[in-house]
Amino acid sequence: MSAAPLLRQVFGFDGFRPGQEEIVTAVAEGQNVLAIMPTGGGKSLCYQLPALMRDGLTVVISPLIALMRDQVRALTEAGVAAAALTSGNTEDENAEVWRALSARELRLLYMAPERLASGATIPMLRRAGVQAIAVDEAHCVSQWGHDFRPDYLRVGELRAALGVPLAAFTATADAETRDEIVARLFGGDQPRVFLRGFDRPNIHLAFQPKDGPRAQILNFAQARRGQSGIVYCGTRAKTETLAGALNDSGLPSVAYHGGMEAEARRAVETRFQREDGLIVTATVAFGMGIDKPDIRWVAHADLPKSIEAYYQEIGRGGRDGAPAETLTLYGSDDVRLRRGQIDEGLAPPERKSADHARLNALLGLAEAATCRRVALLGYFGETAAPCGNCDICDNPPETFDGTEAAQKVLSAVLRTGQSYGAGHIIDVLTGNSTDRIRQRGHDQLPTFGVGRDIPKGQWQAIIRQMLGRDLLRPDPERHGGLAITAAAHAVLRGEERVTLRRDLISKARPAVVVRTQVDEEDAPLLSALKAKRRALAEAARVPAYVIFPDRTLIE
């Protein structure tokens, strides 16, 4: 059957979304395809529809049970013979799937990649007459990506064993991930690549530095009372406290994180799907499986870990195409936390520096002086005009020529041998003669004290903006010491000007961070630490944080 009538009869859609038709055609023709489409772009249809256009069975590899269940339910309701083999199945359900497979009754079989680890699976699929393979969330095969699933590596084996065409789908577009997907899934055959535009013009983009973060989130949610929204939090504990605070102010909210029982998580997913105006405060565990078209807002109580994660998370809003609002909060504590997570992680050095660069890209976006959408799309290799739908376009911030300040920072970094963190560089600039400064003889440098006219907190804000513009990078080989980038040379030579945001600099305050070796489960110690944090925050009149060995953060 051809595409258009199936689209209407089975899926109930009037037409294709941008990009879908070309992909459906290529997949139905049996070409190997890698399709990159934004979240909410309608990737599922691009393998479901071709599966019905050809005879026989299509196997769909998908990472999440909830996602598979939803799709199988929707397909079954539409009269399509579809089933899933997951670890959540009962014996009876499994027996029925195996029966339907050997009777060649199924058109779509969803499967978690872990299933491929069993030696029985591939021969079983071969007997079932598989015609094609579809791989959803294909970035899970990438060790560079944020959702790596080792069992995705077996998909290449499956393809080789069955000798059928493969179509892979993802919303993650950066070039490294794309290359890795091609290498690992297509075994050297170059697939046809479809790269659909990344812009989600209906999503309003906004960032704010943390300044009473709880009140910032409450106000944002308050102004959107009655609308469904998600608040992403950096820690499990915060999802709970924030849900409590929202409920206290009369906004129905429920927490969601990976530490909850599967049952409880599913209950939240179902409630969110059905109920209007519910807020879910969640860790990143909430998302990939959520198919709710009318999420009207997404807030980040803490900075996401990379620009890709940010894009995917805000992309859960406004899938129906109607306006959706976002607000992302960030503070220097977030930057420290994320840097620490990267540096202390087990990844190889080249991966760590890529992760720092991705975080820098997000910081650059957070502190952008011009249209955020231009910056965001620019990261994904697209050019755009100023959008008129971000906080910067709404309200352009005051900027100033920060070239001279940036040159001072760069020269202090160079003269101290590119081995020190921001704190030490600021001590040099402000002429703060600490023991370490004197021991290293840094009080003898010509740059010592050249930045006395600017307070410490403002230098921090300047350095943060420079990191965001990729003029400086923390060098993981030197314990995160700052190093200058190629782009910085043009600034040092005076060939490039540096435009900085004044608003971010005049408000800048330092934060206090306490690192500890206690276990988060240790309640008495925990409350002692929280009291200590409060005392510090009050004494210094700045935000303070406690970082645990597993790198969770308590505010």
CA distances from 387 to 173, 182, 266, 276, 394 (A): 21, 33, 37, 30, 9
Compute the least distance from the CB of residue 21 to ligand ADP, in Å: 9
**116 close to 126: Cβ distance less than 8 angstroms:** no
Q: Which of 10, 134, 140, 387 binds Zn ion (CB under 5 A)?
A: 387
User: In the bound complex, what is the minimum distance in angstroms from residue 203's beta carbon to Zn ion?
Assistant: 11
Verify binding: residue 384, Zn ion, rule CB under 5 A: no
List CB contacts of 379: < 8 A, sequence separation 6 or more.
174, 307, 361, 365
Residue sitting closest to Mg ion (CB): 43
Instruction: Name beta bridge partners: 36.
Output: 170, 195
Task: Say which residues have a Cβ less than 8 Å from residue 30's Cβ, sequence separation at least 6.
Answer: 54, 132, 165
Facing residues of 475 across strands?
Answer: 481
Q: Which does 293 bind (CB under 5 to 8 A by kind): Mg ion, Zn ion, ligand ADP, none?
A: ligand ADP
Q: How far is the CB of 136 from Mg ion (least distance, A)?
A: 6
Q: Which is nearer to Mg ion, 254 or 309 (CB)?
A: 309
Of 30 and 378, CB closest to Zn ion: 378
Q: Which is nearer to ligand ADP, 20 or 430 (CB)?
A: 20
* Segment contacting Zn ion by CB under 5 A, of 276-284, 363-371, 396-404, 499-507: 363-371
Minimum distance from residue 396 beta carbon to Zn ion (Å) = 10
Residues that bind ligand ADP (CB under 6 A): 13, 16-17, 20, 37, 39-45, 291, 293, 319
Does 316 help bind Zn ion (rule: CB under 5 A)? no
Compute the distance between CA of residue 402 and CA of residue 393 in angstroms, rounded to an integer. Answer: 21
Q: Between 41 and 543, whose beta carbon lies closer to ligand ADP?
A: 41
> Measured at CB, which residue is nearest to ligand ADP?
42
Cβ closer to Zn ion: 130 or 307?
A: 307
Q: Is 478 helix (H, G, I), strand (E, B) or coil?
A: helix
Q: Report what 291 binds from Zn ion, Mg ion, ligand ADP, none; CB cut-off 5-8 Å by kind.
A: ligand ADP
Helix (H), strand (E) at residue 36: strand 33-36
**Cα–Cα dist 146/354, whole Å:** 12
Radius of gyration of the chain measured on its C-alpha atoms: 26
Q: Which stretch binds Zn ion (CB under 5 A): 186-194, 277-285, 366-374, 489-497?
A: 366-374
Measured from the CB atom, is 27 or 369 closer to Mg ion? 27
Spell out the long-range contacts of 482-486 with Cβ–Cβ below 8 A and sequence spacing 24 or more: 482/413, 482/418, 482/420, 482/421, 482/422, 482/425, 483/413, 483/418, 484/410, 484/413, 484/414, 484/418
Site size for Mg ion (CB under 5 A) = 1
Round to whole Å and give the CA distance between 233 and 206: 17
Binding string to Mg ion for residues 4 to 43, with x set by CB under 5 A, is what? ---------------------------------------x
Residue 32 touches which of ligand ADP, Zn ion, Mg ion, none (Cβ within 5-8 Å per kind)? none
CB of 467 to ligand ADP, least distance (A): 31
Spell out, one character per residue from 511 to 540, where the chain touches Mg ion: x when CB under 5 A holds, - when not: ------------------------------
Nearest-approach distance from CB 263 to ligand ADP, in angstroms: 24
How many CA atoms are closer than 13 Å to the CA of 303, on its beta-carbon side?
A: 27
In the complex with Zn ion, the residue whose CB is nearer, 182 or 390, is: 390
Residue 266 structure tokens: 């599913």
Cite the beta strand spans of 345-479 per DSSP E. Answer: 399-401, 472-475
CB-nearer residue toward Zn ion: 393 or 445: 393
Q: How many Å apart are CA 318 and CA 338, to the nearest integer? A: 28
CB neighbour list of residue 278: distance below 8 Å, 6 or more residues apart: 228, 252, 253, 254, 271, 272
Q: Which does 373 bind (CB under 5 to 8 A by kind): Zn ion, Mg ion, ligand ADP, none?
A: Zn ion
- Which of 109/526 has CB closer to ligand ADP? 109
| Least distance from ligand ADP to the Cβ atom of residue 198, Å | 12
Q: Which does residue 13 bind out of Mg ion, Zn ion, ligand ADP, none, counting CB within 5 to 8 angstroms by kind?
A: ligand ADP
d(CA 80, CA 50): 13
Q: Pick from 421, 434, 256, 271: which is nearest to 336 by CA?
A: 421
Specify the DSSP element, H or E, that contains 554: strand 553-554
Dihedrals φ, ψ of 82, to 5°? -135, 150
Q: Which does 48 bind (CB under 5 to 8 A by kind): Mg ion, ligand ADP, Zn ion, none?
A: none
279: helix, strand or coil: strand
Residue among 259 and 293 whose Cβ is closer to ligand ADP: 293
Q: Residues 393-412 vs Zn ion: string with x where CB under 5 A?
A: x-------------------
The answer to the question of residue 314 lying near Zn ion (CB under 5 A) is no
Contacts with Mg ion, residue ranges (CB under 5 A):
43
Contacts with Zn ion, residue ranges (CB under 5 A):
371, 373, 387, 390, 393
